[in-house]
Chains A and B, each alone.
Chain A
Amino acid sequence: MLEHGAGLVLIPLVAAFMSDAMALFGGMMFGRTKLAPLVSPKKTREGAVSGLVGGMAGMILFRIFFFLCTEVPLHFGWCVLLGLVGAVLGQLGDLSFSCIKRQYGIKDYGRLLPGHGGVLDRFDSVIFAAPVIWMIVDAVTLY
């Protein structure tokens, strides 16, 4: 059982969403080299690296907010590692679901979340990152 579970629940979401957002903005600003042109033509290596940095930065911000809310200092190193793992697996999930889209020639999975490409497109990174992050959170001493 985990203490402060209601707060720790947010770790996979923070890591994956921050990675997604930073990958998008990093790719738009610095993107030059294609990451996987056959799978997802718009993704760039610079965006992927920005995503990794974004995941880690997101977890550092999360650590600060978590401390402000609960007065419990999470372990800095584990937080950075969780951000990195979330970002790597999140991008893997993103590419995996992009593979399915390219295979079947569709642009978006759905129209429920306009601009985000559907619920599945929004949560594809979380689907990959969540189980591994949960295992790490459950196994290590975060605080």
Chain B
Amino acid sequence: MKQRILVAAVGIPALLGVLCFAPDWATALLMAALCVIGGHELLAAVLPPEKTRRWWGLAAALSVFVVAEIYFRHEPCRYADPVADALADGGAGDRVFLCMVLAYGKQGEMDFTALCAILMAGIAIPQRSAACCGCGCWSMGRAWC
């Protein structure tokens, strides 16, 4: 319990500092980092170690792409929309499907559990975490504050 309170006492002010006072890109970076770490924890929990090592990179890349796409979608910058479009056009689902096909029949192929874990870690968790940070209100929110 003591350790739990100590970690919260250090972590919560740090989290508040980044969310409220740091620039938008720092918030996005924090979200991406948390999603990558959380994704690894999820894969490590449900997959054997060799499959975790094999598929974690894909899940991490997907989560970074998802957070980046949402960040650029709401950034009032001239080149933000084209960048967001490019990231969205990358097609997260297509990439997972392609990796699944390429690994089919090989050692460490993507089975149903791995597919679900990768979709959860790479797409669902980052999208929901991005909602947590209220990506849609970053720029205007800061401009008005």
- Partner-B contacts on A (CB < 8 A): 1-10, 12-13, 17, 70, 100-101, 104, 106, 109-110, 112-116, 118-120, 123, 126-128, 130-131, 133-134, 137-138
Contact = CB atoms under 8 A, between A and B. Distances in A.
B132 A3 contact: no
Contacts of B125: 127
A133 to B, nearest CB: 8
B142 interface: yes
A3 B45 contact: no
Q: Is the interface of B mostly helix, strand, loop or mixed?
A: helix
Nearest to A21: B8
B3 interface: yes
Interface stretch (B11-19, B49-57, B91-99, B100-108): B11-19
Nearest to B130: A130
A130 B132 contact: yes
Contact of A123 (B129, B136, B139, B142): B129
B137 A2 contact: yes
11 contacts: A4-B145, A8-B141, A9-B133, A101-B45, A104-B46, A109-B41, A119-B34, A120-B38, A128-B128, A131-B127, A131-B128
Nearest to B36: A119
Contact of A120 (B4, B16, B41): B41
Interface of B: 1, 3-8, 11-12, 15-16, 19-20, 27, 34, 37-38, 40-42, 44-46, 125, 127-129, 131-134, 136-142, 144-145
B132 A110 contact: no
A3 B4 contact: no
A8 B133 CA distance: 9
B3 A112 contact: no
B37 A5 contact: no
Contact of B37 (A6, A119, A128): A119
B3 to A, nearest CB: 4
A34 B11 CA distance: 30
Nearest to A127: B128
Contacts of B5: 115
